[in-house]
Amino acid sequence: DGVVEVLARRGDTLLDVFVEVPCSGDYDGYQRFEGCTPRRCGRGVTDAVITREEAERIRRIAERGLSLGGSDGGASILDLHSGALSLGTHFVNLYRYFGDKIHDIFTEEDFALYRDVRQRIQQKIAQVFGISSSSMYLTKPTFFSRINSTEAKTTHDEYWHPHVDKVTYGSFDYTSLLYLSDYAEDFGGGRFVFMDAGSNKTIEPQAGRVSFFTSGSENLHRVEKVHWGTRYAITISFTCNPGHGIGDPVLM
């Protein structure tokens, strides 16, 4: 692993940490959108956008939704946009699968909070990278994740492999994660790791902390295996291509 540097420790309150890195060539293979496609690349962390109380409310949304299913392995996802929910070794559409019962699980207030949080994260990314928030579009997949130490049953459970978001999901230009639980208190392992040449930069999750970064190879990353407890987070990603944009989820 080489040298390990902690970019953000649990227990610290970070207003704004930003590390600029040279952009990769990953964006050159896609249509460029002036005023949005990354020309300045890097990664940031902030504890000043979402409160801990808001993060706890968001986590309860995830807990209620994931209580309807869950993977047989260690990683479960819930996507409020598409309705994708881990169930055993596959996925179901929770809106079709559970029908009107969904209204017993989620409320309009839940979805309003989700929208508000998404908008604030979008505005923070736009501010830091010097672009217009209106030139960014939410893109898929955008999802809650629940990770525990259960052994993987399918490749979908193998969350720990190094990857590049722009390569995995061509639409991604900016990626963000809102952490909904605390490293070393709610779970062990599970740190977020940027893998740079000769060193790793780690982020220790805590409820309300937001990390965000340009989605190309300049930000190769992985998540450490969770050894105990349960790690909750939500991945919210943005594209510069309006053709790949999606709307906020609505309670069906």
List residues with catalytic annotation. Answer: 231
76: which DSSP letter? E
Q: What residues contact residue 36 under an 8 Å CB cut-off, 6+ apart?
A: 131, 132, 135, 136, 173, 240
> Cβ(81)–Cβ(95) under 8 Å?
no
Q: State how far the Cα of 74 lies from the Cα of 37, in Å rounded to an integer.
A: 35
Alpha-carbon Rg for the chain in angstroms: 17
39: which DSSP letter? S
> Cβ(70)–Cβ(92) under 8 Å?
no
| 195 token code pair | 């893998």
Q: State how far the Cα of 53 lies from the Cα of 69, in Å rounded to an integer.
A: 25
Closest CA to 79 of 69, 93, 64: 93
